[in-house]
Structure 1
Amino acid sequence: MTTTSFYIKLIILSFLFYSCGTGNLEVVANIDSQLQEASALELIKGENVLWTIEDAGNPNTLYRLNNEGNIDRSITITNAKNKDWEDLTADKQGNIYIGDFGNNRKKREIFTIYKVSNSKKTTKESTAEAIHFKLPNQLKSEDFEAFFLHNNYFYMFSKTDKKGILIKVPNKIGTHVATFITEFKLKGKQTKITGADISADGKTVVLLNHDKLWKLTNFTSDNFFNGKLELLEFKHDSQKEGVCFIDSKSVLINDERTGIEGGNIYVFRLN
C-alpha cells in the first residue's frame, strides 16, 4: 500500500469511526519500534505523508512514516541539535517546521523553530533555516510542547497544570521577541498541553493531553480562548504527544512507547 493509499485509509476510517461513541480511539498504525519517544505528528495533505520526531536527547532527525507506521525516510538536520524537539507543523508549500522549545527546567532564554524546506525531495540530509525567539521581558521562562502555523504566525501554548500563556512568533527567518496574546487556565486536573493543531479552515483548534482533548471554536482573531471550549475525554490514558487534523471532524493522535504499551497512531472523532 502506498502512502497515498494510507491517507485514503485514514479518511475512510474517520468516516466509519463516526458511528463509534465519543472518547474512543481507533489504532490505525503502530509506530516503528526504533522510535521510543515520538513527540509529534504532522500530516502533509498535499503529499499525503506523515512525519514525526523524537524529543530531547534523541537524534536531530525528521522521520517519514509509511502506512504501517514504519520509517521509510530519515532526514538528518545537519545544522541543528535536538535540544528538546517537541512538535511539528507545516505550511501549504510543504515546508516542515520543528519546534525546539521544550524547557522542562524553565531556564531557556532562546527558543528555536527549524524550517525544513522541500522535504518531498530531500532524501537523507537537510540544512534548516532557523527562527529564534525569546519571551517578552515581563514573562518568565516557560516550557512549550505545542504549536501550529496560522496566518503566517506560529502559535505556542505553554505546558502547565497552572495558569498558562499563549504567544505568537512570525514565520520569518531571524530572531524575534514573541508577542503575548493571553493567559489561560483549563479546568480540572492534568491540564498540561502536549500537542496542538488548527483545522485547514482555521475555525477549530485542538489541544492535546494524555487522557483528553480540548476543542476550541467560535473564537475571534487569534485569542483562541475567547470562544467555545469543549472538553473531550478519551477512554484511554497514555503519554500522548502529537495531534494533527485529518479533516474538520477528526484528528490523528500518537503516543510514546512505554514498555510494551503505546507507540501507536490513533484516529479520534471530534463530534
Structure 2
Amino acid sequence: MNKFLLSFILLTYSCSTGNLKVIADINSDLEEASALEIVKRSNLLWTIEDAGNKNNLYGLDLNGKIVKDIDISNVKNEDWEDLTSDALGNIYIGDFGNNNKKRENFSIYKVSNLTQVKDDTTAEIINFKLPKDVKSEDFEAFFLLDNAFYIFSKENKTSLLLKVPNTIGNHVAELVTDFNLDGKHNKITSAAVSANGEIVVLLNHDKLWKLTNFKPDAFFKGKVEELKFNHSSQKEGICFKNDSVVYISDERHKTEGGNIYEFKLN
C-alpha cells in the first residue's frame, strides 16, 4: 500500500467518528479541556482545564492551536468545569465541580471584555451556596439565559437544576427543579443555550439532549430529544456554532480524544 493511500485512509477514519465530524485536534498541552465556548466579537473557541490545573483561559483557533493564554490572577482553580458568555463579550467560568460532594461554597468568575484582554487579568466573583435541605452535589454544566445562570448537577439518576442571578456578590441558589432523564449513563458534563434562547443542549459522553418548546424555567416540560453519537469519550465541552450546529470537545485519554467536533442537531 503506497503512503498516499495509507494517509488518505487514516485521515478519513480519524474524521468519521460516528455522526460527529472531527474538525481539529486540541493542542497536546491541554490534556483536560473541560469546556468550550464562543464569545461575541472573538473568532476563537475558548476552553479551560479542571481541578489541579492552571487558572487560565485558553483561546483556540479552528485547528485546535492555542492562540490566547490568559492567566486569571485573583482566583484559584478549585474545580473549573464549564464556560458560558453573554451578548456583551464577557465570559463566565463555572467553579462548581464537587467530586467528593463535600463542597459548601461555589463560584462563578466573570472576565469582562474578553477580546480586549492580553495575557492576564482579574475576575469579578459571583459566589453561591445551596438552599437549605439541598445536599451538596457535583455540578459540571451551566448556561446564561435572561441574566440568570442555570446550573445542572451531574447525576445518573435524579439531577438538580439551580438558578443563580448574574450579579456580583454572594447568593443562595434557587432550586428550580429536580429531574430524571430516561435511560442509563445520564450524567450531564456541559450545557449551552442557542443565541435566540430557544434551544438548550445538555452533553453526555455518548449523546446529547436537545430541549425545545419550553417556557421560562420549565426546560423539561417542553420537547426533550435524545441524540446519540455512536461514539463514547470523555466529552466535557459544548457550545453553539449556530442554531443548528454545535461544537463539542473531549478530554484526551492516552491515544484517544482531545478533539473538537461538529455535530448537526437537525
Say whether residues 1:226 and 2:221 are aligned partners.
yes
Task: Classify the secondary structure of the residue corresponding to 1:120.
Answer: helix
Please name the residue that 2:9 is paired with. Answer: none
Say whether residues 1:179 and 2:174 are aligned partners.
yes
Q: Report the CA distance between 1:68 and its aligned residue.
A: 1.2
Aligned pair partner of 1:251 in 246, 255, 262: 246
Please name the residue that 1:208 is paired with. Answer: 203
Partners of 1:67 and 1:162 lie apart in 2 by 36
- Count how many residue pairs are aligned between Structure 1 and Structure 2: 251
Q: CA RMSD in A?
A: 1.3
Say whether residues 1:25 and 2:17 are aligned partners.
no
Partners of 1:262 and 1:152 lie apart in 2 by 34
* Paired letter, 2:106: F
1:177-212 deviation per Cα after TM superposition (whole angstroms, max 9, x unaligned): 001111100111100000000111111100000000
Task: Classify the secondary structure of the residue corresponding to 1:142.
Answer: coil
Q: Report the CA distance between 1:45 and its aligned residue.
A: 4.0
Task: Classify the secondary structure of the residue corresponding to 2:211.
Answer: strand
Report percent identity of matched pairs. Answer: 63
Task: Classify the secondary structure of the residue corresponding to 1:261.
Answer: coil
Q: Report the CA distance between 1:117 and its aligned residue.
A: 1.1
Aligned pair partner of 1:42 in 34, 37, 54: 37
TM-score w.r.t. length of structure 1: 0.91
1:206-227 deviation per Cα after TM superposition (whole angstroms, max 9, x unaligned): 0000000000111111121111
Please name the residue that 2:102 is paired with. Answer: 107
Say whether residues 1:139 and 2:129 are aligned partners.
no
Q: Report the CA distance between 1:67 and its aligned residue.
A: 2.6
* Paired letter, 2:23: V
* Paired letter, 2:139: F
Which stretches in structure 2 are left out of the alignment for 5+ residues? Answer: 1-15
Q: What does 1:68-87 correspond to in 2, within 5 Å?
A: 68-87=63-82
Please name the residue that 2:154 is paired with. Answer: 159
Which stretches in structure 1 are left out of the alignment for 5+ residues? Answer: 1-20
Larger Rg: 2
Partners of 1:129 and 1:200 lie apart in 2 by 24
Q: Report the CA distance between 1:105 and its aligned residue.
A: 0.5
C-alpha contact 2:41 2:115 (8 A) present in aligned 1:
no
Task: Classify the secondary structure of the residue corresponding to 1:257.
Answer: coil
Task: Classify the secondary structure of the residue corresponding to 2:83.
Answer: strand
TM-score w.r.t. length of structure 2: 0.92
1:57-80 deviation per Cα after TM superposition (whole angstroms, max 9, x unaligned): 000000011231111111101011
Q: Report the CA distance between 1:118 and its aligned residue.
A: 1.8
